[in-house]
Copies of this chain bind each other. A is one copy, B any other.
Amino acid sequence: MRLVQAISSEKIVVFEKESVTLPLGFKAGGMHCGIKRKRLDLGYIVSEVPATAAGVYTTNVFQAAPLLVTQESIAKEQKLQAILVNSGNANACTGEQGLMDAYEMQKNFAAELHIDDHLVAVTSTGVIGELLPMDKINQGIKQILQKEYEQEDNFKKAILTTDTTVKNTAVQLKIDGKTVSIGGAAKGSGMIHPNMATMLGFVTTDANIAYDDLVSALKDVTNQTFNMITVDGDTSTNDMVLVMANGLAKNNQLTKEHPDWDLFVSGLKIVCESLAKKIARDGEGATKLIEVNVSGAYSLEAARAVGKSIISSNLVKTAIYGTDANWGRIVTAIGYSGVPVDPNTVKVGIGPITVFENGLPCVFVEEEAKEYLEQENVQIFVELNQGDCSAAAWGCDLTYDYVKINASYRT
């Protein structure tokens, strides 16, 4: 894999408050149709014209019905014009009826839009094993395109479950003298683990881009962003990230040979990384975002494995919740990552404080470490001194509230 070159940040403008409708030709909205008690539970993104589309999906063998329908639909002509999302019910483990319901959602929304069925992606998130309340959803589909529901903010809210905040970001960059925008929104809070966790990500762009290259960019970027977060180690049945590129920015078609390919991929990465970190920070019960930076690995896979091992450790997560600079747990997690590291060359830092080096603990002031760990964003650095590869992973602390939320919430 060719690594995309780092792009000077001047070339990419980040709009933290913007989302999926910053790119030209996209609208979004959401409403309460009655799946949840009160909060918004049905949302859409629609493009003026069919957009080149790509997706990545959960690796869980119990894939939910809407994922099957969406994958099949994109396979037809690699295009989407709309995405319909419901929250509150995952339509997972629902058998034949669940599949029929997913097709019905697709068909009815396509009819409202007067487009072909296969141009509509359907996605669901929420409780597993219950049939969708199709009466309510069909009623919702009939009304949702009304002007009053058309608000990007409604969309961002309609996709949430146990999330406490909406998650969005957008960037702009210049390609062939044209302004290209990439916007994203996501949900995810529990059942979050690398390889597509209970997580939905929606990315829109007005870039003109070749299908194969869009697929490969999405895959690469997802491996570096969404697949590097964990909340609880559980990989859900419903995860997916979809990207729609409608070409309305009118740049020359992007391919890997285009001089600004790296710029576009960097922009896509900024959007996905921002969404991924927001999901990790909003992990169920979390009070902190933890970022692990691994460098000096002999391969990208090794760097990622070490990062994921640390970020997934319940003992590391509880120590950070307790603002305890318990580096022994970090070292232990490195040790069982499956990567043959040499204990005598590993260096570990908690923020600015080096805690372990040359196989031995370092002397440091506990109070300073405690003060650092009291921050909302905690960074852990690991230098393996075995090579040139590096990776970042994101997660959150494990708290009383995680237990509270999950001892009672029926997913």
Assess whether A127 is in contact with B336, with CB atoms less than 8 Å apart: no
Chain A interface main SS type: loop
The answer to whether B332 touches A60, judged by C-beta atoms less than 8 angstroms apart, is yes
Interface: A49 (CB within 8 A) = no
Pairwise interchain contact A336-B60, C-beta atoms closer than 8 A: yes
Is A190 part of the binding interface, using a Cβ–Cβ cutoff of 8 Å?
Answer: yes
Scoring A residues 323 to 362 as 1 if CB is less than 8 Å from chain B, else 0, what string do you get? 0101111011111100011010000000000001011110
Are B128's CB and A328's CB within 8 A? yes
Per-residue CB proximity of A377-411 to B under 8 Å, as 1/0?
00000000000000000000011101110111011
Residue of B nearest to A358 (CB): B95
A24 in the interface, Cβ–Cβ < 8 Å? no
When C-beta atoms are compared, the residue in chain B nearest to A130 turns out to be B361
For residue A25, CB closer than 8 A to chain B, the reply is no
Q: Which residues of B contact A59 (CB under 8 A)?
A: 336
Please pick, from B232, B233, B340, the residue contacting A61 in the complex, using a CB distance under 8 A: B340
A125 at the interface (CB under 8 A from B): no
Q: Are B93 and A315 in contact (CB under 8 A)?
A: no
Q: Do residues A312 and B403 form an inter-chain contact, with CB atoms below 8 A?
A: no
Q: How far is the CA of A358 from the CA of B360 in the complex (A)?
A: 54
Whether the pair A341, B406 counts as a contact (CB closer than 8 A) is no
In contact, A315 and B232 (Cβ under 8 angstroms): yes
Q: Pick from A2-10, A12-20, A234-242, A272-280 the stretch touching chain B.
A: A234-242
Contact A313 B233 (CB under 8 A): yes
- Whether A408 contacts B322 in the complex (CB less than 8 A), given A93-B331, A313-B234, A343-B61, comes out as yes
Instruction: Judge whether A129 is part of the interface by a CB distance below 8 angstroms.
Output: yes
Complex CA distance for A410 and B312, rounded to whole angstroms:
19
Interface presence of A321 (CB below 8 A): yes
CA distance A19 to B93 in the complex (A): 47
A314 contacts partner chain B, Cβ-Cβ < 8 Å: yes
**Bound complex: CA of A263 vs CA of B401, how far in Å?**
48
Contact B233 A233 (CB under 8 A): yes
Q: A336-B59, A359-B93, A398-B403 are in contact. Are A327 and B129 (CB under 8 A)?
A: yes
Contact residues of A between 19 and 65, Cβ < 8 Å to B: 59-62
For residue A129, give the distance in angstroms from its CB to the closest CB of chain B: 4
Using A93-B356, A314-B232, A360-B93 as known contacts, say yes or no to A237 and B321 having CB atoms under 8 A apart. no
Pick from B94, B336, B356, B407: contact of A324, CB below 8 A: B407
**Complex: how many Å from CA A321 to CA B128?**
19
**A408–B323 CA distance with the chains assembled, in angstroms:** 8
State whether A399 and B403 are in contact (beta carbons under 8 Å apart), knowing that A93-B356, A94-B360 are contacts in the complex: yes
Q: Are B315 and A191 in contact (CB under 8 A)?
A: yes
**How distant is A344 from chain B, measured CB to nearest CB, in Å?**
8
Asked if A229 is an interface residue, CB under 8 A from chain B, the answer is no
A232-262: CB near B (< 8 Å → 1, else 0) gives: 1111110000000000000000000000000
In the assembled complex, which residues on chain B have CB atoms less than 8 Å from the CB atom of A402? 314, 318, 403
Other than the given A62-B332, A191-B315, A235-B332, 16 more pairs (CB < 8 A) read A61-B340, A61-B343, A62-B335, A92-B328, A94-B360, A95-B359, A128-B328, A128-B331, A128-B332, A232-B314, A233-B314, A234-B315, A234-B329, A314-B402, A321-B403, A321-B407
Q: List 7 A-B contacts (CB under 8 A).
A: A61-B334, A94-B360, A232-B315, A234-B315, A235-B336, A237-B332, A400-B404
User: Across chains A and B, which 6 residue pairs bring their CB atoms closest together, nearest first?
Assistant: A322-B407, A128-B328, A318-B406, A62-B335, A60-B335, A235-B336
